[in-house]
A and B are shown apart, each in its own frame.
Chain A
Amino acid sequence: MIIIGEKINGSIPSVGKAIAEKNGDFIRHLAKAQAEAGATYIDVCASVEESIEVDTMRWLINLVQEVTDTPIAVDSPSARACAEALTFCNKPGLVNSVSMEGDKVDVIFPVIADTKWECIALLSDDTGIPRTAEKRLQVFEALMKKAKEYNIDPSRLHIDPLVEMLCTSEDGINTITDVMKTIKAQYPTIHITGGASNISFNLPVRRLVNQSFIVLAMNAGMDSAIVDPLNRDLMGMIFAAEALLGKDEFCMEYIGAYRKGIFGPAK
């Protein structure tokens, strides 16, 4: 499972405060803790005004790279900010994200075309988030055409089918899991990702909904997720689900992660 550590995000109040106060230690600590907890990527999202976004991203990315070699997920709603920020990274990471909205794909894909950078792609377009599975798959098709144009292999793409809140959904996550299964069947090497927390919006004890979602989505082919790697229960559940899905021979990954203290009683 590819773990994209979500904790360095300016929209989280404590992180926003650290950014405003230029508290480097706070950011370094978040980066190190997530890397040690098994993050595959450290997501970096400034969530500041456009005029200072790129400078803030540079500051954040440098702090992360001071304490860990874990690659960075460059996270901004602005494709241009992503394109600039990825030049600050010491090694290829993950662009978070493009979609078929506006010219996002045409800004990012040429920049990463001949690199090892990977990219999250949301299945939305200028009309917003499509309601049906068919419409999302149409957006997906258009996206894959663009990827082919820029010679970006499916294995470098993390498709986010855009999970919506469960409390107003008419069919639970069935639309989303249908999309996941169809995509994975067409492109076995493609990654499927998503945030684990939108799903539980406006429900009590959200973590139970989030964790159940992750397990069911993994069963439908999700192999990448934007989550808090310091959430020990969630991490344990992810390792357990991998083993249950037959992706962990002799449960060695599960046991290894436990030994490293990633889940289970804190050591």
Chain B
Amino acid sequence: MSKIQEISTAVETGKSKLVPTLVQEALAEGNKATDILNAMINAMGVVGDKFSAGEIYVPEMLVAARAMQKGVEVLKPLLAGDGSVSLGLCIIGTVAGDLHDIGKNLVAIMIESAGFEVIDLGVDVPADKFIETIKAHPEVKIVACSGLLTTTMPAMQETVRAIRALGLTGFKIMVGGAPITAEFAAEIGADAYTPDAGAAAVKAKELVS
């Protein structure tokens, strides 16, 4: 098994103590930091797919993400200033009136692990806050809105409407959460709906490619 494959396996199985060592060893063998990073991103892709397929549980996805973060910490000094490695910025939050954060956090973790930078606005985020953040970061590529209550679906609709009203086109809007469907997403003018965190990461990559 090559060192890169070892890293992929260690990320997939959540070996956060092992990953930094393997990354160091891979660098010492002459592997490029970006290649190592991409291997870890692909490994997280596998993890996300397994989660979407119901083959693994939430904590297994979390420990995989944590293992990858440990590897990224080793690579960071080598990647600094190399803008080409990031897929771009994603702004994420749970819409106004809704305090649920578990699903939103999972999506944030998976999108970050897919190679995005993430600004997490937290829960109960008013449309104005999304807009303010988008204006402050015009380079944003993905805006992701989460909602877990049927009663906050109107807030999601209002948020998407307000963001669209800015007239900016440099980013895509993704929505998700238990009561949300692809039909609802289309109806309120979002660009994409995904049913879980693994699928969200895949879709986010697709939308910026």
- B-contacting residues of A (Cβ < 8 Å)? 250-252, 255
Contacts and interface: CB of A to CB of B under 8 A. Distances in A.
Contacts of A251: 57, 59
Contacts of A255: 57, 59-60
A255 B58 CA distance: 10
Given A250-B60, A255-B57, A255-B59, 9 more contacts: A250-B59, A250-B62, A250-B63, A251-B59, A252-B14, A252-B59, A252-B60, A252-B63, A255-B60
Nearest to A254: B59
13 contacts: A250-B59, A250-B60, A250-B62, A250-B63, A251-B57, A251-B59, A252-B14, A252-B59, A252-B60, A252-B63, A255-B57, A255-B59, A255-B60
A182 to B, nearest CB: 34
A242 B14 CA distance: 20
B193 to A, nearest CB: 28
Nearest to B14: A252
A255 B14 CA distance: 13
Nearest to B56: A255
Contacts of B62: 250
Contacts of A250: 59-60, 62-63
**How would you classify the secondary structure of chain A's contact residues: helix, strand, loop or mixed?**
helix
Contacts, number: 13
Interface in B54-103: 57, 59-60, 62-63
Interface of B: 14, 57, 59-60, 62-63
**10 closest Cβ contacts across the A-B interface?**
A250-B59, A251-B59, A250-B63, A255-B57, A250-B62, A252-B59, A255-B60, A252-B63, A255-B59, A252-B14
Nearest to B62: A250
Contacts of B63: 250, 252
Contacts of B60: 250, 252, 255
A250 B65 CA distance: 12
A251 B60 CA distance: 9
A252 B56 CA distance: 11
A263 B36 CA distance: 37
Contacts of B57: 251, 255
A252 B17 CA distance: 15
A251 to B, nearest CB: 5
Residue among A250, A252, A255 facing the most chain B CB atoms (10 A cut-off) = A250
A251 B59 CA distance: 7
Nearest to B59: A250
A99 to B, nearest CB: 41
A251 B62 CA distance: 11
A252 B63 CA distance: 9
A251 B56 CA distance: 12
B130 to A, nearest CB: 31
A38 B62 CA distance: 25
B170 to A, nearest CB: 37
B159 to A, nearest CB: 32
Nearest to B63: A250
A41 to B, nearest CB: 27
A250 to B, nearest CB: 4
A192 to B, nearest CB: 28
B113 to A, nearest CB: 16
A251 B14 CA distance: 13
A255 B50 CA distance: 15
A252 B14 CA distance: 10
Contacts of B59: 250-252, 255
A130 to B, nearest CB: 44
Contacts of A252: 14, 59-60, 63
A233 to B, nearest CB: 20
A265 to B, nearest CB: 15
B53 to A, nearest CB: 15
B125 to A, nearest CB: 27
A96 B161 CA distance: 72
A167 B63 CA distance: 45
A182 B63 CA distance: 35
A255 B51 CA distance: 14
B69 to A, nearest CB: 14
A255 B60 CA distance: 9
B197 to A, nearest CB: 16
